[in-house]
Structure 1
Amino acid sequence: MEHSTGNYLKVIVFQLQDEEYALPVEYVSAIERIQPITRVPRAEEFVKGVINLRGVIIPIIDLRLRFGMVETELTEENRIIIVKKNGFEVGLIVDTASDVIDLALDEMEPNPEVVGSEAADYIDGVSKIEDRLLILLDLKKILISDQYTQAVKEEGQKPL
């Protein structure tokens, strides 16, 4: 678990398929509507390309593909969550973005052992809020790939 205020962690809640996920708000710089994405040659399948957001070129990751889910056609409901960590900025395509809430850290359970789910590799914890089950994602694990690691080495950037 990352930074929090007191015994709570402020998160943004979003959906992929029928599941609700959460990311710490401290890493979210914006939530944008879907816009034209320029494909990047030889990028990994889950990297949809790049966008020009107010003069900044931002790589875009489709979280459905990153988690091994079925790709769907993008609609007006989809959102791009722009996240920033250690100076590295990336957009995450999600089905919908809904809430900003506080998760009680003492009610957070560690990553459950889920067999056969690629998404399980990216989970930081699970929290039950009333009748909702929120899956807190580990941003660092989502962003790191073999290509990312190679790019960091080549550009001499600081890794996440």
Structure 2
Amino acid sequence: MLELTSHKAEGQPPHASEMAQGENSEFLAFTLGNEEYGIDILKVQEIRGYESVTRIVNAPEFIKGVINLRGIIVPIVDMRIRFNLGTPTYDQFTVVIILNINGRVTGIVVDSVSDVTTLSAQQIKPAPEMGAILSTDYLIGLGTLDDRMLILVDIDKLMSSSEMGLVDQIAVEA
């Protein structure tokens, strides 16, 4: 288990030294299939190895179940299923990213986590419109860094969508 702590508290104004660097943002990079994604590091509470979950009856397939994390019931969402990226496999690299979004703790299952990447505003490009194939509602944009490209997910919007409201309901029922 890796616990992440940030020097920045949510809702706090940036320090002058950070403002002088420009609008830099840090993203936790993770993989799903062959693609690399990024989420705001300030939303990440910790990273854990994948462990079995308690299934919840009648939950949508993308909600794997719940775990008890130090007394808190945490719903676990499999992002590969959520994004229709094929059948997930669980191995020694599979991890659960524990997120804290507006006081709500949720876990997301991803194939692997690579690193924390700092991107400037100039390195973040708008997401191209993908039509019905992929909704860009949940994307911040595409982060470019040398030969890498990160699909930047707006985890707040994703986790506040109507179907993710089911995650809250399941956490309460568990």
TM normalised by structure 2 equals: 0.78
Count of matched residue pairs: 151
The CA RMSD over aligned residues, in Å, is 2.2
Residues 52/13 of structure 1: CA separation in 2 closer, same or farther (3 Å cut): same
State the 1:112 CA deviation. 1.3
Task: Give 2:172's aligned residue.
Answer: none
Taking the aligned partners of 1:70 and 1:121, their CA distance within structure 2 comes to 21
1:152–1:32 distance in 2 versus 1, CA, 3 Å: closer
- Which residue, 117, 124, 130 being the options, matches 1:114? 130
Look up the equivalent residue of 2:92 and give its one-letter code: E
Inter-partner Cα distance in structure 2 for 1:120 and 1:66 = 14
- 2:7 corresponds in structure 1 to none
1:118-133 counterparts in 2 under 5 A? 118=134, 120-133=136-149
Offset at residue 66 of structure 1 (A)? 0.8
1:22·1:135 contact (CA, 8 Å) conserved in 2? Answer: yes
- CA deviation digits over 1:8-32, x for unaligned, max 9? 0011000000110000110000000
Contact 1:122–1:141 (8 Å) recurs in 2:
yes
Distance in 2 (CA, whole Å) between partners of 1:148 and 1:8 is 29
Residue 111 of structure 1: how far off its partner (Å): 1.9
Counterpart position of 1:18: 34
Larger radius of gyration: 2
User: Which ranges in structure 2 are unaligned for 5 or more consecutive residues?
Assistant: 1-10, 170-174
Shift of 1:76: 1.1
C-alpha distance in 1 between matches for 2:166 and 2:109: 23
| Displaced runs of 4 or more, over 2 A | 3-6, 115-122, 144-153
The separation in 2 between residues aligned to 1:105 and 1:16, in whole angstroms, is 24
What is the match of residue 104 of structure 1? 120
Contact 1:66 1:142 in 2 (8 A): no
For residues 95 and 150 of structure 1, the distance between their equivalents in structure 2, rounded to whole angstroms, comes to 23
User: Paired residue for 1:140?
Assistant: 156
Amino acid aligned to 1:62: D
Deviations 1:82-127 (A, max 9, x none): 0111111100000000101211112211121124433644211111
Q: Equivalent residue for 1:62? A: 78
Query: Which SS does the other structure have where 2:158 is aligned?
Result: helix
